[in-house]
Structure 1
Amino acid sequence: MSYRYLLFYKPYDVLCQFTDESPSSSRRQTLKDYIPIPGIYPVGRLDQDSEGLLLLTNHGQLQHRLSDPKFQHPRTYWVQVERIPDEGALQQLRQGLKIQDYRTRPAIATLLPEEPNLPPRDPPIRFRKSVPTAWLELTLTEGRNRQVRRMTAAVGFPTLRLVRVKIAHLSLQGLQPGEWREISPEELHQLREN
């Protein structure tokens, strides 16, 4: 069997699956609208309202190793939040915090000095003149359902926009929303080594 490994920049409002099983009459966009390759599956997920890097493959063993939290593969996100987080909030994220019925692992959390250079989101986030926003860089080694959004909300700074920019050493660099590419032999080698 020939294995495939793709990086995809998932746009906002695209389902992280190849079919839309919703009973609603309006069809939602899926990965099939962008990637014409059968038999590959995403490693992990991004919510419909999140954007950014997805790795897709038909290599089940690698897929398991990258998505199982026990292997602690880092995932890095740029997160636009309401208001400006203080050092106390960042420290809570760094130590891990209790959300719902579990405690998150410690994260790497930093306040970005300026807005990152990202393509505009369509539609844009709602803008309020009276409420400033800030961008965080968060690196997690686990990926629970809506975890980043729940973490920022738990420390008092709700997420407005969420973009995954890295999975391990793989990054969005060179891709625009809706674009995909095969990973290079060097990237694959490094992925297998970690």
Structure 2
Amino acid sequence: TAEMPSMYPAGEYDLAGFAVGAVEKSKIIDGTKIAPGDVVLGLASSGAHSNGYSLVRKIIEVAKPDLEGDFHGRKLADVLMEPTRIYVKPLLALMESMEVKGMVHITGGGLVENIPRVLQAGLVAELDGKSWTMPPLFQWLQLHGGVADAEMHRVFNCGIGMTVIVSKENADAAVAQLTAAGETVSRIGTIRARVGDEHQTIVV
């Protein structure tokens, strides 16, 4: 279960549900086909995506902002509580039209701790931190929380809610298809060989 300190008063509890899916063994995407030269695409998030809220609450506690005040045309409270974007339909369509070598939902652990889940031991995902714009919400959280870049990438999605790994040859077509489906897509990095025991996701 999620760690949500001080969220539930005495006598209250959280009721959660889950779904189980089935896939043909031949169609399982397990990351074993990922190779150096492959491209990492990033799909824009809608907000914090239900992750990092212990830190969000601490920053609000310290900064004491007006949650009802204007934040880039919306109430700050609404921006903070924006529901998680769901990517399943455009990704299912992408898998039907080309080989998708890996997919990673950027949840707790941010970019640096989630992408290694689909990488073989000898590979690294090298991400270009300037290839996408960090949304105003995350800029605000970093500023008011005094959060270092490395910690931002470890705790928050920083504007990337889902990553998709495809071959270099398929990258342009994948970007076009996902964009046509309504996603905001950026080429955020490439796969390369790992050097020594370096971390498997590097943001440069």
Q: TM-score, normalised by structure 2?
A: 0.33
- Larger helix proportion, structure 1 or 2? 2
Q: TM-score, normalised by structure 1?
A: 0.35
Of structures 1 and 2, the one with the larger relative CO (CA 8 A, separation 6+) is 2
